[in-house]
Amino acid sequence: MVKLFLTDVDGCLTDGGMYYTADGEVMKRFCVYDGMGMVLLQKAGIKCGILTSENSPIVKARAEKLKLDFLYLGVGSKVNANCLTKKQAAQEICDQLGVTLAEVCYVGDDVNDLDLLSAVGYPCCPPNARPEVLSLPDIRILHTPGGQGAIREICDEILKSE
């Protein structure tokens, strides 16, 4: 049974693209279906959060809009060796909630997600994930690409199994 739902951002909640304006502002496109999926999970009593290596005010704004329970920015970054790994961040949340990683669903798509995907009870990835992720044993490969409703797909499955 899933008690905690966590996801990466780029490639999962978004299509992985970063859009730049002439002034250098970064923009991201989010799918409203994904947001509603996490809102529905929260209404069912399942805590939700984002773990991302980005330190983005855009992601912070999205998490606040959805009233997510947890937001970890700048984790799992290869650039910053002093930061928490995504697995460490997830364990910190689990310890706070009194749940185990076996009760966590995590959606990730790239190499910095491998440790956490290998540790959780419900590892998932969109079909546009990197080959290293797609080849993990027990990974649930979603049908819907990242940024186009992949998160909603797994949220709906979790809610049906409750």
**pLDDT range class, residue 78, cuts 50, 70, 90:** low
4-161 folds as Rossmann fold (3.40.50)
Cut 0.85: pTM above it: yes
> At residue 33, does pLDDT exceed 80?
yes
> At residue 10, does pLDDT exceed 90?
yes
Report the amino acid identity of residue 131. P
Count other Cβ atoms within 10 Å, centred on residue 148: 17
> What are the structural domain ranges in the chain?
4-161
Count other Cβ atoms within 10 Å, centred on residue 51: 29
Mean pLDDT for the chain overall: 94
Of residues 16 and 77, more confidently modeled: 16
10 burial level (CB within 10 Å; 0-12, 13-18, 19+): buried
